[in-house]
Structure 1
């Protein structure tokens, strides 16, 4: 069983999102029922606060127990009862990852999971705290709402972050350009605002400025499911913008450090 198949159920299948089992994807669920002992996947451990490997856990898992386990699984499937899958962190076995499936004929539905998708993702955005400042809370809210299957609501927070990034850049431009015209900027649509700020914004944002239109459309026109489907790539786009801001900030710190070094060293050498 490939890694991609092993991590699909715990890390990709959303809560209450039905997975129809067919000939093409039966290999996703079959190993969990027939041979779970071999299942493992890499994931962030919220207790260790590190990436780790989680392995399927059952005490005294021998051949006899394997047979009993499979019989119990089959009984639960026939009775339409929930099935729990428990995995243990290989750094510390007291740290667990588990999820619960309900299998009904050809449908597999995840009805519970710990840690939640939001818990697993929030550690990844911690590095953006310094560049987002007050908007960091909105970013985490967007991720939590998305994990709770609230699509349009999550887009509201992402769009607010986008607008605040543009406003922050406008303030920089107005301070640095003597002929900056705020009236022209304020009267422009977002697409033109980004063009006016192209010298101050990451190229990736200028090239993909229609991202704002996607966010607005998601809030006003798209269905919840459409927003949920779009969320991962919209989040990725926001993160790319933030990555560039972090890069520029680090670059300026290095430039400043080199300048200070050269200046102070030259003065020392003169004396």
Structure 2
């Protein structure tokens, strides 16, 4: 059936927990993150220095520092759970990223010892219960998280939508999930007809039949007012199986995200919805457009290469 979409089963439908590296590089401010955290030794991060200008490897400059532990007269830190760490770009040795975070909650975990050596297979020591951090919150970052959009995406969005998109990123980075989700929904709403037209153009680039392309374009019919959610829903039902991303329908996924009610949700839950919506929107609106353009260029080139050579015209009779 057109527009089919695989349904996640079991644990596959659950969102993966944030990794320690993702906490350092992507976590918003003032949002509690359930994670057993200690800053990793190395991370990958976008370097802004002119020598790099791309994603590079970064290394932690030192061990974690309790904020205030190096104060004058050896004063006792007011909060032993408030910590900071810094990373430096390995390539340019110039750009430095510093985060400040707080251990919000601890729990117990059982550490089982290794088996003994020699003839005995019994553990050399009994299991031990140790304290571990189970929840952290980022409370500061320098430089501030970037809100610069990829050039292709900014160009495709246009000035007004790009401004809303940047505001969504600012809200997200500062922990204002409800505002971020609202701004992202506004961008999707403004660009729904363009998204549907893009889906139709992708179908054309894959040389699908005219009826399929016309059915997709019908969802963007502007002669009658239709809510943008309803447009996306209809467009997703006629989205051909041949254009699925893996086994998923990107328009159906986008519809399910923007149609979710955000009333009563926490800031953390709204941030998760904004992140997911942004990821799908970016793929459909930017990457899919780029792939379609490259595909069309390649098809045209193949057409030229496979045209039969023209025979030279006979010279006029003398």
Matched, 1:270 2:312: yes
CA distance in 2 between partners of 1:241 and 1:247 (Å): 10
Matched, 1:224 2:249: no
Tell me the secondary structure at the aligned position of residue 113 of structure 1. Answer: strand
The CA RMSD measured in Å over matched residues stands at 4.4
Structure 1 residue 185, shift from structure 2 partner:
5.8
Matched, 1:236 2:279: yes
TM-score, reference length from structure 2: 0.58
Structure 1 residue 227, shift from structure 2 partner:
0.9
CA distance in 1 between partners of 2:85 and 2:222 (Å): 59
Structure 1 residue 138, shift from structure 2 partner:
3.4
Tell me the secondary structure at the aligned position of residue 266 of structure 1. Answer: coil
- Contact 1:102–1:110 at 8 Å: present in 2 too? yes
Larger Rg: 2
Tell me the secondary structure at the aligned position of residue 31 of structure 2. Answer: coil
- Contact 2:59–2:87 at 8 Å: present in 1 too? yes
CA distance in 2 between partners of 1:146 and 1:236 (Å): 13
Structure 1 residue 137, shift from structure 2 partner:
3.8
Aligned length: 242
Unaligned runs of 5+ in 2: 1-17, 107-134, 201-212, 314-318
Unaligned runs of 5+ in 1: 33-37, 59-65
CA distance in 2 between partners of 1:250 and 1:84 (Å): 45
Q: Deviations over 1:148-180 (max 9, x none)?
A: 21222222332233334431256687xx86x96
CA distance in 2 between partners of 1:208 and 1:180 (Å): 15
Tell me the secondary structure at the aligned position of residue 109 of structure 1. Answer: strand
Aligned partner of 2:292 among 228, 231, 248: 248
Aligned partner of 1:194 among 225, 235, 252: 235
Tell me the secondary structure at the aligned position of residue 270 of structure 1. Answer: coil
Structure 1 residue 83, shift from structure 2 partner:
3.3
CA distance in 2 between partners of 1:85 and 1:5 (Å): 16
Shift in CA distance, 192/252, structure 1 to aligned 2, threshold 3 Å: same
Shift in CA distance, 20/236, structure 1 to aligned 2, threshold 3 Å: closer
Shift in CA distance, 140/203, structure 1 to aligned 2, threshold 3 Å: farther
* Higher RCO structure (Cα 8 Å, ≥6 apart): 2
Moved more, 128-137 or 149-158: 128-137
Matched, 1:57 2:98: no
Aligned partner of 1:43 among 45, 48, 53: 45
The aligned counterpart of 1:15 is 29
- Contact 2:250–2:284 at 8 Å: present in 1 too? no
Aligned pairs (5 A) from 1:13-162:
13-18=27-32, 25=36, 28-29=37-38, 39-47=41-49, 48-57=52-61, 72=69, 79-80=78-79, 82-103=82-103, 106=106, 108-119=136-147, 122=148, 125-134=150-159, 135-162=161-188
Structure 1 residue 131, shift from structure 2 partner:
3.6
- Contact 1:44–1:51 at 8 Å: present in 2 too? yes
Shift in CA distance, 72/133, structure 1 to aligned 2, threshold 3 Å: same
Structure 1 residue 99, shift from structure 2 partner:
0.9
